[in-house]
């Protein structure tokens, strides 16, 4: 195989490898940056600050997106566990915050300081995240069983983590009002 053919194969693999895991990564980034844009902060912002937390989430998402397209099948378990964590985040949101049913589908009414007109977009992002996580579990064959166990083990724990982070963000918004915590300043 020529160098040009090898390069073409590498590019094709990058563009097609683990599409569900890659979609889940994009959806998770959309989730946390939606929270930031909405003025409720994002995970780790209460401890690191908004800029460093955004850098962690942004660079981590780019790294996972790229690696999901490049790594071979021997890394299925790691990506399956990651997809299990993506699914855990979605389940923790739908079990830990007020919701209603639209037919058979639960919809969050409020979450982490957001409500009203922010919720349709947020719910949509969560549903895309959940679907991508399930697809990612299926596409990462070797580790799918381990990845599927992650939500059962971690969802309840993550609900508590979300609520503690939310309380820290609310307290921080009262002490140090900023553009990125504006929605939490008067809660």
Position 112 in a domain: yes
- Rg of the chain on CA atoms, in Å: 18
Say how many Å lie between the first and final Cα of the chain, rounded. 63
Position 11 in a domain: no
pLDDT tens-digit series, residues 56-108: 999 999 999 999 999 888 889 999 999 999 999 999 999 999 999 988 899 99
Q: Domain span at residue 54?
A: 20-41+49-184
Residue 11's pLDDT is what?
54
Nearest-angstrom CA–CA distance, 106 and 103: 8
Position 1 in a domain: no
Tens-digit pLDDT string for the chain (187 aa): 787 766 656 555 555 689 999 999 999 999 999 999 999 999 999 999 999 999 999 999 999 999 999 988 888 999 999 999 999 999 999 999 999 998 889 999 999 999 999 999 999 999 999 999 999 999 988 888 999 999 999 999 999 999 999 999 999 999 999 999 999 998 7
H-only helix segments in the chain: 3-16, 19-38, 45-48, 50-70, 76-96, 119-139, 144-175
Nearest-angstrom CA–CA distance, 148 and 119: 27
Residue 36's pLDDT is what?
98
Position 177 in a domain: yes
Residue 13's pLDDT is what?
55
107 has which bridge partners? Answer: 100
Q: Structurally, how many domains does the chain consist of?
A: 1
Position 103 in a domain: yes
How long a stretch of residues is the chain?
Answer: 187
Tell me if residue 141 falls in helix, strand or coil.
helix
Residue 152's pLDDT is what?
95
Residue 73's pLDDT is what?
82
């Amino acid at each position: 195989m020529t160098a040009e053919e090898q390069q073409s194969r590498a590019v094709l693999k990058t563009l097609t490898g683990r599409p569900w895991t890659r979609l889940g990564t994009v959806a998770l980034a959309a989730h946390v940056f939606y929270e930031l844009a909405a003025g409720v902060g994002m995970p780790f912002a209460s401890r690191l600050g908004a800029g460093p937390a955004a850098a962690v989430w942004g660079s981590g998402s780019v790294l996972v997106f790229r690696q999901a397209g490049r790594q071979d099948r021997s890394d299925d378990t790691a990506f399956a566990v990651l997809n299990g964590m993506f699914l855990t985040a979605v389940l923790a949101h739908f079990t830990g915050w007020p919701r209603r049913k639209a037919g058979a589908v639960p919809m969050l009414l409020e979450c982490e300081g957001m409500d009203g007109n922010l919720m349709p977009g947020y719910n949509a992002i969560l549903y895309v995240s959940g679907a991508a996580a399930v697809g990612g579990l299926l596409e990462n064959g070797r580790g799918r069983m381990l990845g599927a166990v992650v939500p059962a083990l971690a969802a309840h724990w993550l609900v508590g983590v979300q609520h503690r982070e939310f309380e820290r963000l609310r307290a921080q918004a009262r002490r140090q009002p900023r553009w990125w915590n504006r929605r939490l300043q008067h809660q």
